[in-house]
Every structure is written in structure tokens, then in C-alpha cells.
Chain A
Amino acid sequence: LAKTTQPISMDSYEGQEVNITCSHNNIATNDYITWYQQFPSQGPRFIIQGYKTKVTNEVASLFIPADRKSSTLSLPRVSLSDTAVYYCLVGDPTGGYNKLIFGAGTRLAVHP
């Protein structure tokens, strides 16, 4: 399983765009990049997943450069409710079985 590195914490203000970058230098060919969000005392919640280029959904965008050694989660116009821990995970989700290895994540604090 590829190791990931992401900032321990970030601060932002309401209405700003937040970009959290994750490094995964040893990503394998079959690996996808998945981001989860976790609020205190709740289970991790899937945000977005991608393999290459750009993926966008109603919550976030995920930018993956051609070499796939890093990825950037972009949260547009954050609000106070986006204060959470964000985890970047790398692994092969195809075939069903996919044990997740969580790092420390990035603790995002959104201020008024």
C-alpha cells in the first residue's frame, strides 16, 4: 500500500477555496486516490475518488497530475461546517476487497 504524506493542519476562512495536497510517490498502476472527511466522533465519510486528471462532484474537485505522484483536494468556498479532518488514501478498490490504511490526515479549521 502506497504511503501518503499530507499537511498536518490547515486554516482557512469562510468563503475561501481550500486546496489540500497529498504526496504518494510510490503509487502503483492500479491504485486510485480517495479522500475521506471525518468529523469528531463520526465515521469517515467518502468525498471523492480519482485515478488521473480531474474529477469533480457536488462537494469537491480532485486534481491529479500526469505522474500521479500527488493529488490535490479542492474545496470551493468552505464554510464552518467543513471543519474536519481530511484523509488521503491510495489503494486498489477494484475487485471488492480494499483494506484502508489511514494516516494522520489534515486537520482543516475554517474560521468565521
Chain B
Amino acid sequence: EPEVTQTPSHQVTQMGQEVILRCVPISNHLYFYWYRQILGQKVEFLVSFYNNEISEKSEIFDDQFSVERPDGSNFTLKIRSTKLEDSAMYFCANDGTDTQYFGPGTRLTVL
């Protein structure tokens, strides 16, 4: 199975700090996604990215969030000023021919 990788596996930060979560998607797959999952809750769509721009975003993805492909391969999610409620697992996903492949996730803990 194709592999999406994410770093770091666990990030601890103080409220108000900026964090950058990184994803290395599968090469030649064009659509990128970020999802999050608060402990004990559903997996929630955050944003999709195609052709170097956001194609869709959810109401969760407010001005504190941004995404980019800084070097044409990595895909990042930045949270500018973290809040306690941003604590969650964040998953990067990448489209295959007929489905999405998810990375292992980054556990973000905001103190």
C-alpha cells in the first residue's frame, strides 16, 4: 500500500504558539487533504489542496490555519496561534486512483 508519512508523531506546545505539521504525500498524487480527530470524536475534514491552492475548506479551517507545499513535495499545515481546543490528531491524506491514503497522524497537545 502506498505510504503517506507525517512528522512529528507528537507535538506538545504552549497555547498561543505556532506549530507546523508536516506531511510527505505519495508522489504523483495530486490532491492533498488535512483532517483532524479530537480524542473520542469523529474524523473531521479540514481542507483540501490541489494545484498549489486550497480547493475546499471546512468551517473549522479559520484564519489561524494555513496550508502550503513549500518545496513541491512536502505538504504542511500551520496553526498560527494554538488554542487548547486544537489538541487533536491531525491526519494528512492523499488521493490514490480510487481512494484516499492517510498518514499515521500527528498528535498535537496544546497546554
Binding site for B on A (CB under 8 A): 32, 34, 38, 41-46, 49, 87, 93-94, 96-105
Contacts and interface: CB of A to CB of B under 8 A. Distances in A.
A41 B95 contact: no
Interface stretch (B11-19, B63-71, B73-81, B102-110): B102-110
A108 to B, nearest CB: 16
A49 B99 contact: yes
Interface in B36-89: 42-45, 48, 50, 55-56, 89
A110 B46 CA distance: 32
Contacts of B111: none
Interface of B: 1, 4, 30-31, 33, 35, 42-45, 48, 50, 55-56, 89, 91, 93, 95, 98-105, 107
Contacts of B95: 96-98
Contact of A100 (B45, B104, B105): B45
